[in-house]
Structure 1
Amino acid sequence: MKLKAFLLSSLVAAPLAFANAEITTQDTYARATPPTAVTSAVFGNIHNSGDRARNIVSVSVDAAGKSELHDVIMDGEMMKMRHVDTFVIPANGKLPLKPGGHHIMMFDLKHPLKEGQTLNVTLTFANGEKYQFQAPVKKVMAGMSMNHNMDHGKEMDHGKMDMQH
């Protein structure tokens, strides 16, 4: 009887394990922060080797009190960062997470992010499945196109940005 229960539970769990194997990450990292910063972001690539698109509906990061899916759009001459409900990873494709585009935004950091640390990131998909990966913390060049450590709503020195949530 125990063997039957084990086999049955293995069959039920097998599709989820297979589906999870279709998702991989590459070149992920979180931006290091100065001591007083309360926000940062995670970047990299999320790959989907499956034959159907996958929808990420939420994210959590162990070093942040709150994490959100964000993208950046142009509204006239103003770049606007906004919270979105879903990231879609195309079938047999990838979703790049990069400054000035889709990214994982972290708020209420529990501590400054220092180079050499590693963050645990959990993606939740529309079907309830979760995928976890680690993102090393890295220093990035000061000339990057976005500064996630700025106060929301302030203008940037090299352009305008309106942060919406």
Structure 2
Amino acid sequence: MTVRHRAAAAAALALGLTGALTACGGDDGGSGDRPELSVSGAYIPRPAMADMAAGFLTVTNKGGGADKLTSITTPLAREVTLHTTKGTQMRQVSSLDVPGGGRLRLSSGGDHLMLTKLTHKPKVGEKVAFTLHFATSDAVKIKVPVEPMTYRPKD
């Protein structure tokens, strides 16, 4: 075998091993095919009614695997439901997708949370505990500020 052939064979072997290790996931600290979730931009507009409020937030997934937001619990409401909005049609759903390498954005006029049977009417400045539950990832606990009804986050 010539020196050139040995170098080509070594390069092919090294490339093949690198691909195999990457496919196995390795232990490089990366998330591979698992979701890696974080929550930001959460808020509740001060509710106009004493028994119902809306909630908005963004779930970012830096991992390669998708997940689903399946429910949210909070001491503020006896029930929290997930809603999608397509055009002017709103409907309740059992889960919302959090794509791998993407995000789920719940916003005014779009997909959102509905909090019903409130335990009290929250005031501006109050922080409300939320626990987000996912199909595969661990639950995420956050504190959600109550903002004025006219609040619009900066994108």
The aligned counterpart of 1:30 is 44
Q: CA deviation at 1:128?
A: 6.7
- 2:71 and 2:41 mapped to 1: Cα distance? 20
Q: CA deviation at 1:43?
A: 0.7
2:46 maps to a residue whose letter is: A
- The answer (yes or no) to whether the contact 1:31–1:113 under 8 Å persists in 2 is no
- The answer (yes or no) to whether the contact 2:67–2:136 under 8 Å persists in 1 is no
The aligned counterpart of 2:10 is none
- 1:125 and 1:27 mapped to 2: Cα distance? 18
- 1:33 and 1:103 mapped to 2: Cα distance? 14
1:135 maps to a residue whose letter is: V
- 1:58 and 1:112 mapped to 2: Cα distance? 21
Q: Deviations over 1:30-77 (max 9, x none)?
A: 11124x421111112111111111111111122001101111123xxx
- The answer (yes or no) to whether the contact 2:47–2:149 under 8 Å persists in 1 is no
- 1:90 and 1:128 mapped to 2: Cα distance? 13
The aligned counterpart of 2:91 is 82
Q: CA deviation at 1:127?
A: 2.8
- 1:67 and 1:99 mapped to 2: Cα distance? 16
The aligned counterpart of 2:147 is 138
Aligned-residue CA RMSD in angstroms? 2.0
Q: What is the TM-score with the length of structure 1 in the denominator?
A: 0.65
The aligned counterpart of 2:103 is 94
Task: From the CA coordinates, give the structure whose radius of gyration is larger.
Answer: 2
1:25 maps to a residue whose letter is: V
Structure 1 alignment gaps of length 5 or more: 1-18, 145-165
Structure 2 alignment gaps of length 5 or more: 1-33
